[in-house]
Amino acid sequence: MLGDSTAVGLGDPLPNRGGWRGVGPLVAEALGVEPDGYLNPSFTGARMGCVLTKQLPAAVAHQPDVALVVAGMNDTLRPDFSAEKIAADLTEVIRSLAAVGTTVVPVRYHDHGKVFRLPQSLRRALSERVAELNAAIEGVVERESVPCLDLELLPGAYDLTAWSVDRLHPSELGHRMLATGFTERLAEAGFAVPRPVSLTCSGGVEPSTAGHLGWLVLKGVPWVWRRGREFVPYAAVIMWHSFRERLR
Residue-wise pLDDT for 112-167, tens only, equals 878 876 667 677 778 889 999 999 999 999 999 999 999 999 999 999 899 987 77
The 8 Å CB, 24+ separation contacts for 199-206 are: 199/173, 201/172, 201/173, 201/176, 203/15, 203/21, 204/12, 204/13, 204/14, 204/15, 204/21, 204/172, 205/13, 205/14, 205/15, 206/172
Pick from 98, 34, 23: nearest CA to 66 = 98
CA–CA distance, 134 with 73 (Å, rounded to integer)? 10
CA–CA distance, 131 with 242 (Å, rounded to integer)? 17
234-244 pLDDT per residue, tens: 444 444 444 45
Count of structural domains, the chain:
1
Burial of residue 121, with CB atoms counted within 10 A of its CB: 0-12 exposed, 13-18 middle, 19 or more buried: middle
pLDDT at 239: 46
Domain that holds residue 59: 2-247
CA–CA distance, 21 with 224 (Å, rounded to integer)? 24
197-242 pLDDT per residue, tens: 999 998 665 655 555 555 555 555 455 545 455 545 544 444 444 4
User: Cα 160 to chain center, whole Å?
Assistant: 17
Contact status, residue 182 vs residue 105, Cβ threshold 8 Å = yes
> At 28, which CATH number?
3.40.50.1110
> Structure pTM?
0.84
Above 60 in pLDDT, residue 245?
Answer: no
